[in-house]
């Protein structure tokens, strides 16, 4: 049995050699009892030869430790996808909360943006059906244009039957509007009509009273200060709804961006205060019966 123990110890490399007369011999002592040290190699292969006396950790060599999470990685992950950094830091409930909130915010932003698109199509269709640049231009030319001006090219010959915006020469129309604005009665002509289908075109015809006479329910005459038509009011209201939808969508986008920033900050904090499984790998010196022997060890701990 003694020879078996010697062979096992030699196989494991836990040995000590010392010769009083230049020779070498293997020295081991009878183990009085089984004492577990926590080191598998010592406990199972050479228990009797070693009485573990660990030196302070500061004297250990070859030690590698991983004991935390990187705040920078956590912040970067959450900046891209809210909750990803919290997941990395193993804060799973917060990860789920940030991720669900982000998805909900972007979904609401998309929903309101699409509502705005549909409302825009609706009020533009209403304008195309009830407001005419031809009607507006004729009223201005007949009632407000200063005498002596040449507006013969205001309407394009041969375009009858086409959509109203294709029947008017926009350059002549804008020149006439500026001429009217310079007169006393036409001082409320504060703008020149933007090109058709431009965003400003659809804004102007439902915002400024000078464009009131382009609506199909306009009275024969109009003086600044008179009530605008019901179609003017309806159109302005419908256009306002579209703007409200777009404003709400922009608000959700802003909140979503702020959520990314907050999640990044929270993830960095969670990673810096991370508590979890810590592993230490290295060599620890154990006192044998003759000298110190360094054996590889792995220590795993959990911090609460």
* Angle in degrees, CA 102, 108, 112, rounded to 5: 150
Bridge-partner residues for 64, per DSSP?
Answer: 281
pLDDT (mean) for 181-210:
94
Pair 249, 262: CB distance under 8 Å: no
Average pLDDT, the chain: 79
Q: For 251-282, write each residue's pLDDT tens digit.
A: 999 999 999 999 999 999 988 887 554 445 56
pLDDT (mean) for 110-136:
97
Q: For 66-108, write each residue's pLDDT tens digit.
A: 447 889 999 999 999 999 999 999 999 999 999 999 999 999 9
Provide the sign of the torsion angle of the four alpha carbons 243, 117, 161, 170, taken in this order.
positive
What per-residue confidence (pLDDT) applies to 294?
A: 66
Question: How far apart, in Å, do the first and last CA atoms of the chain sit?
Answer: 46
* CB burial of residue 236 (10 Å; 0-12, 13-18, 19+): middle
- The residue ranking higher by pLDDT, 231 or 6, is 231
Compute the distance between CA of residue 205 and CA of residue 203 in angstroms, rounded to an integer.
6
Global pTM?
A: 0.64
pLDDT at residue 12 greater than cutoff 60 = no
pLDDT at residue 295 greater than cutoff 60 = yes
* 288 — pLDDT class (breaks 50, 70, 90): low
What per-residue confidence (pLDDT) applies to 106?
A: 97
What per-residue confidence (pLDDT) applies to 148?
A: 78
Q: For 26-78, write each residue's pLDDT tens digit.
A: 334 444 444 555 554 455 455 444 444 444 444 444 443 444 788 999 999 99
pLDDT (mean) for 205-231:
95
Q: Which of 16-20, 35-39, 226-230, 245-249 has the lowest mean pLDDT?
A: 16-20
* Beta-carbon count within 10 A of 113 CB: 16
Q: Are strands 61-66 and 292-302 parallel, antiparallel or unpaired?
A: unpaired
Provide the sign of the torsion angle of the four alpha carbons 266, 272, 275, 278, taken in this order.
positive
- The residue ranking higher by pLDDT, 126 or 15, is 126
- The residue ranking higher by pLDDT, 11 or 263, is 263
């Amino acid at each position: 049995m003694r020879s078996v123990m010697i062979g096992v110890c030699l196989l494991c490399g836990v040995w000590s050699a010392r010769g009083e007369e230049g020779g070498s011999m293997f020295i081991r002592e009878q183990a009085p009892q089984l004492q577990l040290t926590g080191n598998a190699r010592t406990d199972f292969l050479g228990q009797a030869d070693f009485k573990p006396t660990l030196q302070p950790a500061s004297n250990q060599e070859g030690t590698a430790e991983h004991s935390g999470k990187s705040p920078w990685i956590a912040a970067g992950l959450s900046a891209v996808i809210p909750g990803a950094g919290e997941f990395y830091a193993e804060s799973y409930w917060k990860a789920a909360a940030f991720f669900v909130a982000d998805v909900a915010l972007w979904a609401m932003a998309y929903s309101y943006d699409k509502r705005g698109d549909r409302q825009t199509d609706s009020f533009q269709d209403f304008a195309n059906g009830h407001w005419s640049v031809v009607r507006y231009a004729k009223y201005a030319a007949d009632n407000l244009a200063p005498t002596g001006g040449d507006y013969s090219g205001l309407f394009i010959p041969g375009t009858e039957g086409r959509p109203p915006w294709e029947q008017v020469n926009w350059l002549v129309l804008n020149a006439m509007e500026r001429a009217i604005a310079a007169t006393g009665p036409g001082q409320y002509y504060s703008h020149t009509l933007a090109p058709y289908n431009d965003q400003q075109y659809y804004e102007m015809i439902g915002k400024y009273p000078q464009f009131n006479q382009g609506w199909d329910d306009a009275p024969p005459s109009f003086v600044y200060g008179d009530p605008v038509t019901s179609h003017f009011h309806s159109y302005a209201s419908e256009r306002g709804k579209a703007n409200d939808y777009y404003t709400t969508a922009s608000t959700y986008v802003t909140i979503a961006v702020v959520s990314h920033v907050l999640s990044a900050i929270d993830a960095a904090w969670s990673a810096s205060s991370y508590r979890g499984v810590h592993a230490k790998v290295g060599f620890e010196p154990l006192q044998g019966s003759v000298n110190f022997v360094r054996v590889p060890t792995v220590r795993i701990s959990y911090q609460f």
